[in-house]
Amino acid sequence: MNAKNGDVGSQAAGAAAGADGEQVKEHLRAARDAAAQAARARARQARDWASSQIDDLQHHVETRPYTASAWALGVGFLAGVLLMGLIRSTRR
Protein backbone atom coordinates (compact mmCIF):
# COMPACT_ATOMS: atom_id res chain seq x y z
CA MET A 1 0.00 0.00 0.00
CA ASN A 2 2.84 2.35 0.77
CA ALA A 3 4.43 1.68 -2.59
CA LYS A 4 1.19 2.58 -4.32
CA ASN A 5 0.92 5.85 -2.40
CA GLY A 6 4.52 6.65 -3.32
CA ASP A 7 3.83 5.96 -6.99
CA VAL A 8 0.79 8.22 -6.98
CA GLY A 9 2.81 10.97 -5.29
CA SER A 10 5.63 10.73 -7.82
CA GLN A 11 3.13 10.78 -10.70
CA ALA A 12 1.50 13.90 -9.26
CA ALA A 13 4.92 15.53 -8.89
CA GLY A 14 5.79 14.58 -12.48
CA ALA A 15 2.49 16.05 -13.74
CA ALA A 16 3.12 19.27 -11.81
CA ALA A 17 6.63 19.48 -13.22
CA GLY A 18 5.23 18.93 -16.73
CA ALA A 19 2.69 21.71 -16.22
CA ASP A 20 5.45 24.00 -14.95
CA GLY A 21 7.56 23.09 -17.96
CA GLU A 22 4.72 23.98 -20.33
CA GLN A 23 4.22 27.29 -18.50
CA VAL A 24 7.93 28.07 -18.83
CA LYS A 25 7.79 27.23 -22.56
CA GLU A 26 4.79 29.51 -22.99
CA HIS A 27 6.60 32.35 -21.20
CA LEU A 28 9.65 31.82 -23.40
CA ARG A 29 7.50 31.91 -26.54
CA ALA A 30 5.86 35.13 -25.34
CA ALA A 31 9.27 36.67 -24.58
CA ARG A 32 10.59 35.63 -28.00
CA ASP A 33 7.56 37.15 -29.73
CA ALA A 34 7.90 40.38 -27.73
CA ALA A 35 11.61 40.61 -28.55
CA ALA A 36 10.93 40.03 -32.25
CA GLN A 37 8.22 42.69 -32.25
CA ALA A 38 10.53 45.17 -30.50
CA ALA A 39 13.32 44.44 -33.01
CA ARG A 40 10.95 45.03 -35.92
CA ALA A 41 9.81 48.31 -34.35
CA ARG A 42 13.43 49.46 -33.88
CA ALA A 43 14.27 48.50 -37.47
CA ARG A 44 11.26 50.44 -38.74
CA GLN A 45 12.26 53.43 -36.62
CA ALA A 46 15.86 53.31 -37.93
CA ARG A 47 14.63 52.99 -41.52
CA ASP A 48 12.31 55.99 -41.06
CA TRP A 49 15.13 58.06 -39.51
CA ALA A 50 17.55 57.19 -42.32
CA SER A 51 14.92 58.03 -44.92
CA SER A 52 14.27 61.42 -43.32
CA GLN A 53 18.02 62.15 -43.20
CA ILE A 54 18.40 61.30 -46.88
CA ASP A 55 15.42 63.48 -47.74
CA ASP A 56 16.92 66.37 -45.78
CA LEU A 57 20.28 65.93 -47.51
CA GLN A 58 18.63 65.80 -50.92
CA HIS A 59 16.68 68.97 -50.15
CA HIS A 60 19.87 70.70 -48.97
CA VAL A 61 21.76 69.69 -52.12
CA GLU A 62 18.90 70.83 -54.35
CA THR A 63 18.63 74.23 -52.67
CA ARG A 64 22.41 74.87 -52.47
CA PRO A 65 24.13 72.86 -55.19
CA TYR A 66 27.36 74.88 -55.21
CA THR A 67 27.83 74.62 -51.46
CA ALA A 68 27.14 70.89 -51.56
CA SER A 69 29.61 70.46 -54.42
CA ALA A 70 32.29 72.37 -52.51
CA TRP A 71 31.74 70.19 -49.43
CA ALA A 72 31.89 67.01 -51.53
CA LEU A 73 35.10 68.17 -53.22
CA GLY A 74 36.69 69.04 -49.87
CA VAL A 75 35.73 65.73 -48.27
CA GLY A 76 37.00 63.83 -51.29
CA PHE A 77 40.30 65.72 -51.21
CA LEU A 78 40.79 65.01 -47.49
CA ALA A 79 39.93 61.34 -47.99
CA GLY A 80 42.50 61.16 -50.79
CA VAL A 81 45.19 62.81 -48.67
CA LEU A 82 44.52 60.43 -45.76
CA LEU A 83 44.48 57.40 -48.03
CA MET A 84 47.74 58.37 -49.70
CA GLY A 85 49.31 58.97 -46.30
CA LEU A 86 48.29 55.49 -45.19
CA ILE A 87 49.59 53.92 -48.38
CA ARG A 88 52.94 55.72 -48.14
CA SER A 89 53.38 54.84 -44.47
CA THR A 90 52.86 51.12 -45.15
CA ARG A 91 55.49 51.10 -47.93
CA ARG A 92 58.28 52.24 -45.58
pLDDT in tens, 25-72: 999 999 999 999 999 999 999 999 999 999 999 999 999 999 999 999
Considering the entire predicted model, what is its pTM?
Answer: 0.51
Distance CA 52, CA 21 (A): 46
Torsion of CA 66, 72, 74, 79, to 10 degrees: -170
Q: What is the pLDDT of residue 16?
A: 66
- The one-letter code for the residue type at 40 is R
